[in-house]
């Protein structure tokens, strides 16, 4: 889940550097546990979603799985969000509210999942095609997935947030796609959204210095058409202004002395 107003004035537990929290090894352990819950739920959704299901069916499945794994949904009730996960379809970018909408063959479906373990959050997202994929959909998904990988590779200690942003943009732009600008990645820990903001565009060498113990959610949102967005009447669902398809991938990533560690990948 991504919001533009993600910077909080609340005092965050743990050490802080320039308002960015540095997690202890114990806290990173809790975040790894939360990340594994998220990874397992996404895997379950991926293998279960079929044409004919409603987005609410997906939400019910996800909440049951999160609670079965001993965690609590991050999103349910967050700033009034009414569901456990976000399910966004086709031109919907993020924050789709699950309900009666039926998923059809060929739909581009994004699942955004968050879970809390011992007070710490994990947050990740994936986009897939249900049933038969068109060439446009498949290529958009591959580009967005690889953009996330490029962002993660740039999340090295000693780099800056802008190096992540530049790596994502540098990969996406040659494909002729656009990157959403109003919604960005974020720090994460005891709060779902902490500093720093992690844009998916912009110059390298700027922004917060990446230090071991920081944890961030990197989440490219890529549109086939223009980057501009609008909010639907439910005040949550974000769609492309021009109605073009959009894809969204996200991982929670810890910065360590030896490089980035993805906390929301399934353990091998």
> Does residue 13 register a pLDDT over 60?
no
Average pLDDT for 61-70:
98
- Which fold, 15-258? Creatine Amidinohydrolase (3.90.230)
Domain ranges of the chain: 15-258
Residue 16: its pLDDT value, please? 47
Q: Is the pLDDT of residue 6 over 50?
A: no
> Is a pLDDT exceeding 50 seen at residue 5?
no
- Tell me the Ramachandran region of residue 259: left when phi exceeds 0, alpha when psi lies from -120 to 50, beta otherwise: left
**Structure confidence by residue, pLDDT tens digits, 66-80:** 999 999 999 999 999
Q: State the maximum Cα–Cα separation within the chain, in Å, rounded to a whole number.
A: 48
Q: Percent of the chain, pLDDT > 70?
A: 93
Residue 134 — very low, low, confident or very high, per pLDDT cuts 50/70/90? confident
> Quick one: pLDDT band at residue 19, thresholds 50, 70, 90?
confident
In angstroms, rounded to a whole number, what is the distance separating the alpha carbons of residues 49 and 74? 21
Of 12-16, 177-181, 208-212, 254-258, the poorest mean pLDDT is in: 12-16
Q: What is the DSSP letter of 267?
A: P
Looking at the chain, the whole-number percentage of residues with pLDDT higher than 90 is 90
Per-residue confidence (pLDDT) for residue 3, from 0 to 100 = 55
The predicted structure's pLDDT at residue 154: 98
pLDDT at 18 (0 to 100): 59
Q: How confident is the model at residue 11 (pLDDT cuts 50, 70, 90)?
A: very low
What is the spatial distance between Cα 127 and Cα 260, in angstroms, rounded to a whole number? 22
* Beta carbons of 110 and 92 less than 8 angstroms apart: yes
Digit-coded pLDDT (tens) for 141-163: 999 999 999 999 999 999 999 99
Confidence of residue 132 (pLDDT cuts 50, 70, 90): confident
| Per-residue pLDDT tens digits for 159-218 | 999 999 999 999 999 999 999 999 999 999 999 999 999 999 999 999 999 999 999 999
Residue 60 has pLDDT above 90, yes or no: yes
CB within 8 A of 244, min separation 6: which ones?
Answer: 91, 223, 224, 225, 226
- Cα–Cα distance list, 233 to 109, 182, 197, 225, 236 (Å): 20, 18, 26, 22, 8
Q: Is the pLDDT of residue 15 over 70?
A: no
pTM for this prediction: 0.93
DSSP at 79: G
H or E segment and range at residue 178: strand 178-179
């Amino acid at each position: 889940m991504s919001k533009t107003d993600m910077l909080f004035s609340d005092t965050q537990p743990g050490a802080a550097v320039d308002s960015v929290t540095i997690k202890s090894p114990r806290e990173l352990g809790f975040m790894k546990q939360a990340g594994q819950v998220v990874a397992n739920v996404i895997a379950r959704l991926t293998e279960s979603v079929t044409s004919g299901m409603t987005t609410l069916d997906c939400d019910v499945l996800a909440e049951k799985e999160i609670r079965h794994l001993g965690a609590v949904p991050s999103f349910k009730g967050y700033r009034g969000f009414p569901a456990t996960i976000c399910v966004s379809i086709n031109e919907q970018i993020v924050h789709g509210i699950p309900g009666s909408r039926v998923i059809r063959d060929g739909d581009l479906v994004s699942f955004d999942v968050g879970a809390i373990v011992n007070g710490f959050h994990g947050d990740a997202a994936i986009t897939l095609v249900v049933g038969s994929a068109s060439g446009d959909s498949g290529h958009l998904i591959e580009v967005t997935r690889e953009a996330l990988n490029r962002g993660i590779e740039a999340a090295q200690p000693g780099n800056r947030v802008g190096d992540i942003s530049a790596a994502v943009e540098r990969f996406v732009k040659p494909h002729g796609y656009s990157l959403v600008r109003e919604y960005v990645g974020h720090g994460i820990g005891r709060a779902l959204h902490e500093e720093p903001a992690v844009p998916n565009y912009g110059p390298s060498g700027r922004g917060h210095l990446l230090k071991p113990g920081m944890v961030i959610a990197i989440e490219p949102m890529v549109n086939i058409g223009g980057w501009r967005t609008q909010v639907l009447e439910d005040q949550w669902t974000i769609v492309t202004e021009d109605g073009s398809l959009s894809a969204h991938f996200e991982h929670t990533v810890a910065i360590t002395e030896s490089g980035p560690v993805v906390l929301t990948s399934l353990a091998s």
